[in-house]
Structure 1
Amino acid sequence: MKAQIALVFFLCITITAAWAQDDRGTGAWYMYFGNLRPADSPFSLHGEIQYRNHNMIGDLEQLLIRSGIQYNLPDNSATFTLGYGYIGSEPVGDEDFRVNENRIYQEALLRQGVSTVQLLHRFRYEQRFIDGQDFRTRFRYNLFINVPVTAKKFAKGGVYVALYNEIFINGERLDNIPLFDRNRLYGAMGYKLRDNLGVQLGYMSQMLNSRNQGQLQLSLHHNMTL
């Protein structure tokens, strides 16, 4: 019964997201998330790369590269990160123009379990240096919900539903910068290739001030221990 409820919830999220997309069509994000942690150490390294397209393939929207140094509480209930990211953005169909952004961020990730369901609360504060001139800040909150579908749960061979909703709030409220920046709603099916390696295929609806945009997402999640 729990698996059926999770699947119905996933389908509802996906259908709602697909209905909300704009006339530009569906884009695609291809992503890798990795964490490297020495054994018996509270510290770890985070790295990720995201290749985001305006369409399914070939028209680059953004290239995002992000890294960070993490501190993990002994009971693994929370992780705190100080990191840096580079984001290069291109308008639709224009490969000769790119907006370059360098970003510093601080993050707290809180883990919570409800029965077999995993809940994660991520709070992130960003300092954004855009094209070396424009400085902005932004607050983000993301609620992740991971629901196991099979008996193996989140171990090798396990299937799960991954959901999240993230809201972005600008730190500055100017004439051309509203307080609300965007909201992302995501639903996916996940599969654990190994205990420490999982893949997700899902759909995200991104609501901006002027439009909505839908993206298919394929992501690889890898936790490594030395």
Structure 2
Amino acid sequence: MKLFFSLSLLFCIVLCRGQDHISSFNAVTLTYKFHPKFFLYGEGQLRGNEDYSYPDYYEIKGGLGYNLTKNHKPFVGLGRYVNYKNHSLSREELRFWLQDVIDFKKGIVKFENRLRAEKSWFYEPKTEKSSQRMRYRYRLNISVPLNAKEVKKGTVFANVYDEVFFVSPMKPTFARNRIYGGFGYQIDEYFGVLCGYLWQREFEAAGNRNLHFIYLALNVNIDDTNHHKKTYEFPGAD
């Protein structure tokens, strides 16, 4: 445990030195497997964009997943997303999405491919403006345990991913790129923690923007299927 926090702290300090701002990205996730094929997923997030100490964004979301095979997990989700600006509500979003996750292992390294299609409805209370958006995302997520052959109680693991975002009808179509790197620790069969650095590049017609997040998360896994072998999910920054 001490090794995990030492590595995570050093990792974040090295990557964030020299940045013009540091943002916060905090999450709690719950994965509940109630059937050998079906699972529920829920997540809450709180972020401070360009100001670590002031949260100006939150989201609450969840959905139902299906284990089509051991390595293939379609999912349907719904969420509420709220932005604040200058301590005032600026935009609300309702989002519905479909996704497909296909993963495979090469030795102890796990490669996860995630495809997602999202439909969003926006409302801006100050201007009473409503709008809609379609967005498409692809993420390659790679994780590797560092002190064991698989993730189990007491395992420290490294996690990196790259995700690209495409939108319609807004311009530019290629709207965002996220790159993440960090470490995780599986405390016991239920709880795991993660810490890392996330770089986010926003591509906008008015000019591009970079965000530098310190990511902290608590992941909770509950498996009520009475399987002798537990599986541990660590969704990563989303």
TM-score, normalised by the number of residues in structure 2:
0.80
3-state DSSP class of the match of 1:129?
strand
Name the CA distance, whole Å, in 1 between partners of 2:189 and 2:70: 17
1:133 aligns with 2:117: no
1:148 aligns with 2:148: no
**AA aligned opposite 1:77:** N
3-state DSSP class of the match of 2:133?
strand
Offset, 1:98: 2.4
Name the CA distance, whole Å, in 2 between partners of 1:61 and 1:145: 30
- Which residue does 2:236 correspond to in 1? none
How many residue pairs are counted as aligned between the two chains? 206
**AA aligned opposite 1:68:** G
Gapped regions of structure 2 (runs ≥ 5): 1-6, 124-128, 225-238
Name the CA distance, whole Å, in 2 between partners of 1:126 and 1:203: 25
Name the CA distance, whole Å, in 1 between partners of 2:56 and 2:176: 17
- Which residue does 1:124 correspond to in 2? 116
Does the CA contact (< 8 Å) of 1:153 and 1:159 recur in 2? Answer: no
Name the CA distance, whole Å, in 2 between partners of 1:122 and 1:150: 26
- Which residue does 2:220 correspond to in 1? 222
Moved runs in structure 1, 4+ residues, more than 6 A?
none
1:27 aligns with 2:26: no
- Of 50, 57, 62 in structure 1, the residue corresponding to residue 57 of structure 2 is 62
Q: Which has the higher contact order (CA 8 A, sep 6+)?
A: 1
Deviation digits for residues 156-197 of structure 1 (CA, Å, limit 9, x no counterpart): 00111011111101132x4xx211111110001111111343
TM-score, normalised by the number of residues in structure 1:
0.84
| RMSD of equivalent CA atoms | 2.1
Offset, 1:19: 6.9
1:211 aligns with 2:206: no
- Which residue does 1:102 correspond to in 2? 94
- Which residue does 1:76 correspond to in 2? 70
Gapped regions of structure 1 (runs ≥ 5): 1-6
**AA aligned opposite 2:162:** N
Q: Judging changes above 3 Å, is the alpha-carbon distance between structure 1 residues 114 and 208 closer, same or farther for their aligned structure 2 residues?
A: same
Does the CA contact (< 8 Å) of 1:14 and 1:203 recur in 2? Answer: no
1:162 aligns with 2:159: yes
- Which residue does 2:186 correspond to in 1? 192
Does the CA contact (< 8 Å) of 1:14 and 1:187 recur in 2? Answer: no
3-state DSSP class of the match of 1:168?
strand
Report percent identity of matched pairs.
28
Offset, 1:97: 2.9
Q: Judging changes above 3 Å, is the alpha-carbon distance between structure 1 residues 145 and 14 closer, same or farther for their aligned structure 2 residues?
A: farther
- Which residue does 1:3 correspond to in 2? none
Deviation digits for residues 18-65 of structure 1 (CA, Å, limit 9, x no counterpart): 4795x3x0011110111111143x1111100011113222x2231011
